[in-house]
Amino acid sequence: MYENGLFFLASVIVTFASIFGLINYKILKLPSSIGLVVVALTCSIFIILVDIIFPDLNIAKSARSAFLKIDFHDLVMKGALCFLLFAGALHVDLQQLLQRKYAILSLATIGVLISTFLTGLIIYYVVKLIGLNLSFPFALLFGALISPTDPVAVLGLLKSIKSVPESLKIKIAGESLFNDGVGIVIFSVILTYALASLGISNNEINFLSISEFFIIEAIGGIILGLASGYIAYLAIKTTDDFALEIMITLSLVMITYWIALKIHVSGPLAVVIAGIIIGNYGTKLGMSDVTRKHVNIFWLVIDEILNAGLFLLIGLEILAIELTSINIVAGLLAIPIVLLSRFISVSIPITLLKLKKDFSKGAIPLLTWGGMKGAISVALALSIPDIPERDPILAMTYGVVIFSIIFQGLTIKKLVNIVSK
């Protein structure tokens, strides 16, 4: 019963995350998320090299076969994501969020749309130069899945940087919490369009259907989050038992996300809204100091464990990718293209908003370089059906995500010091 089930999978992930985390803590001494990716990626590359030297062992094939049994998409999108978003939203100051609502809203919507289109357009023409025939709908699909910043990566990064101005921190955190919900909706629409272009999907795509889909997903998710968050707040307010109140927050996340999946509204938006309500009203107005401390510690532990598991899997994901020379080149080319698109998509809304609002010094370069990509992008890429376009998109996604986590993650502090001078 346990040999290949969920319990076995969780055991393996937590065990390897602990071992790799210990290696990082004792030897590399990198930020935990970056260290886990580096160690896991190193192990993956070692397996690939051993397979090249000793092909008869079939070690890479065996590792790939074992890894492909893990449904990374469902693990992220229907499992870990809701808990991570809630844990991040708990610590968002609602007052500061509302003060910067226009900046966050524009980055999470207009910014994502601009980045999606620009990335798709440039990728479409550039990959042709290396002989990769990727149709425009699928180039646009790559733009959609890679444009949202990843809250898991971004919030983990912000914890380790103390010198970023608080006003800029709330913009980066707020954007990462909200734009993944927007990005997932955009990805779903473009995936339907891309599959229809191949004759795989018969769903009709037009402006009206897209608008209805956006409105139902976004507004439905917000309403669900407000309702469930308020009910949980009322329950917490009438209770003074930290174990029970922790259970209430846990059930809030799980039932809210489950309902969102069932009624087809945005689960990420719903749990973010619920998390903000509990973080700003539940913990401050409905909990004693002792309960608040226990709740915060509980969600910190949940956040750390799930983060460790996801970053471990990201490092191992290279085993699941078809590493042809053309895919590797496409992955390398995608990195500057995504960064350029991110820079433009951040610059346009900020430049327009600067007419009325003041922004921290160096806001554009910090938002560009701090716009980390992570597990959500990989999960979305893996959700593409098994068609020829899937492998190059997955390779490009992985290249951008690895660069983002390791190189952007390790250099963001230096950039903060440079722009703050």
What are the tens digits of pLDDT across the range 121-180? 999 999 999 999 999 999 999 999 999 998 877 877 777 677 777 778 888 888 988 988
C-alpha radius of gyration, the chain, whole number: 21
CA distances from 330 to 334, 342, 398 (A): 6, 18, 11
Least confident of 23-32, 64-73, 364-373: 64-73
Residue 1 pLDDT grade (very low, low, confident, very high; cuts 50, 70, 90):
very low
How confident is the model over 328-339, as pLDDT tens digits? 999 999 999 999
Q: What is the mean pLDDT of the chain?
A: 89
One-letter amino acid identity for 29? K
Percent of the chain past pLDDT 90, that is, above it, reads 60
Query: In whole angstroms, what is the distance from residue 114 CA to residue 318 CA?
Result: 29
Domain ranges for the chain:
6-67, 71-419
CA distances from 79 to 13, 124, 339, 361 (A): 14, 33, 29, 38
Tell the residue number behind the tokens 């260290």, with chain if given: 35
Query: Is the pLDDT score of 3 beyond 60?
Result: no
Residue 205 pLDDT grade (very low, low, confident, very high; cuts 50, 70, 90):
low
333: Cα separation from own chain's centroid: 21
One-letter amino acid identity for 226? L
For the domain spanning 71-419, the CATH number is 1.20.1530.20
Residue 51 pLDDT grade (very low, low, confident, very high; cuts 50, 70, 90):
confident
Residue 202 pLDDT grade (very low, low, confident, very high; cuts 50, 70, 90):
low
CA distances from 223 to 20, 218, 229, 267 (A): 41, 9, 10, 11
Question: Any residues with CB less than 8 A from the CB of 94 and at least 6 apart, and which?
Answer: 276, 279, 280
Contact in structure between 335 and 116 (CB atoms under 8 Å): no
pTM of the complete model: 0.91
Query: In whole angstroms, what is the distance from residue 36 CA to residue 23 CA?
Result: 9
How confident is the model over 78-111, as pLDDT tens digits? 889 999 999 999 989 999 999 888 889 999 999 9
Tell the residue number behind the tokens 């464990």, with chain if given: 305
